[in-house]
Amino acid sequence: MRKNNNQTSFSSKYLLLTLSVICVLLMGVSLVTDKIHGPFKAIANYTIVPMQNGINTIGLWMSDLTQNMDTLKEMRKKNKALQAEVDELTIKNNLLQQEKHELERLRELYALDAHYGDYKKIGAHVTANDSGNWFSSFVIDKGKKDGIKVDMNVIAGTGLVGIVTEVGPNWSRVRSIIDDASNVSALVLSTSDTCIVNGDLTLMQDGRIRFEQLANNETEIEVGEQVVTSHISSKYLQGILIGYVSEIHVDPNNLTRSGYIIPAVDFQHLQEVLVITSTKADLLEE
């Protein structure tokens, strides 16, 4: 009996050792090359992804259900606030329309034709979110078969969502700009000063992202100004809206400024995104 017990404990230790070694080897290989992802991706494509697509529909239905629980009173209150917002936006829209005509004229003058509205896009559904609470990436239901490639930019509405980091046959993974490991080279629209926008886990719940390394020169940058992707980025296309400056201060070194941005995209309720099908590398080659 005792011997038997020893045997099982030995063999389970060996199993632990084997599995650990496999894990470490996989990590080592995936650090060096991407090839290891190939077979795994194929497996995931035919097992997990179809089920994710299906179950996601149920998830959406449930979130609708919880939202339906809001009381009538709250709804009325919201409606009132929204009505006020609509009025305000209508006024703003009128102003913008006027400015748009002006812009069109000016653009014709300058013959500026490259604008991100002209990029070709593919729509995709978000089917799964990162399982843990530490990082912020998600899976969409379009992949290599739909022409998605690594490094394509992903937007929702008017704002930048993230970048495609991995592509399977029918799915791809997008790392959002609020992810802790994300860095985007950006530009303050009004003054054309460049800065770096990096995601931060500690700010994720406030719905903010940090920007830094903005030169501390004479230019005055105010709260609410637009921050877009910059021309010097090697992966992000130029001129996609990232968000609006919400706070800015001079760093202790007196050379740079940093602060916070409120992203233009609501990352909490992301359901559909658009993938821009031209990458910066393609554009540079042209």
Partner 1 sequence: MKRKIVTVGIIIVCFLLECTVFQQLSFASITPNLMIIVTSSFGFMRGRKEGMLVGFISGLLIDIMFHDLIGFYALIYTVIGFANGLFRKIFYDDDIKLPLILIASSDFLYGHLVCICMFVMRSKFNYFYYLRSIILPELIYTILVTLVFYEIILHINKKLESEEKRSASKFV
Q: Could you give the string, one character per residue 155-184, with x where binding to partner 1 holds by CB under 8 A and - elsewhere?
A: ----------xx------x------xx---
**275 within 8 A of 167, measured Cβ to Cβ:** no
60 binds partner 1 (CB under 8 A): yes
Q: Which residue has the tokens 């470490």?
A: 24
6 binds partner 1 (CB under 8 A): no
Among 6, 7, 11, 79, which residue sits at the site for partner 1 (rule: CB under 8 A)? 11
151 binds partner 1 (CB under 8 A): no
In the bound complex, what is the minimum distance in angstroms from residue 5's beta carbon to partner 1? 10
232 binds partner 1 (CB under 8 A): no
Structure tokens at 245: 């400056």
213 binds partner 1 (CB under 8 A): no
Alpha-carbon distance of 85 to 82, in angstroms, equals: 5
- Scanning 42-50, 73-81, 186-194, 243-251 for contacts with partner 1 by CB under 8 A, the matching segment is 42-50
Residue 179 contacts by C-beta under 8 Å, 6 or more apart in sequence? 135, 136, 137, 162, 199
| CA dist list (Å): 68 to 57, 72, 74, 75 | 17, 10, 11, 10
Question: CA-based diameter of the chain, in Å?
Answer: 91
Residue 159 φ/ψ region, left for φ over 0, alpha for ψ in the -120 to 50 degree band, beta for the rest: beta
In the bound complex, what is the minimum distance in angstroms from residue 274's beta carbon to partner 1? 20
Residue 213 backbone dihedrals phi, psi, to 5 degrees? 60, 35
Q: Which residues bind partner 1 (CB under 8 A)?
A: 8-9, 11-12, 15-16, 19-20, 22-27, 29-31, 36-37, 40-41, 43-44, 47-48, 51-52, 55-56, 58-60, 62-63, 66, 127-135, 137, 139, 165-166, 173, 180-181, 201-202, 204-205, 268
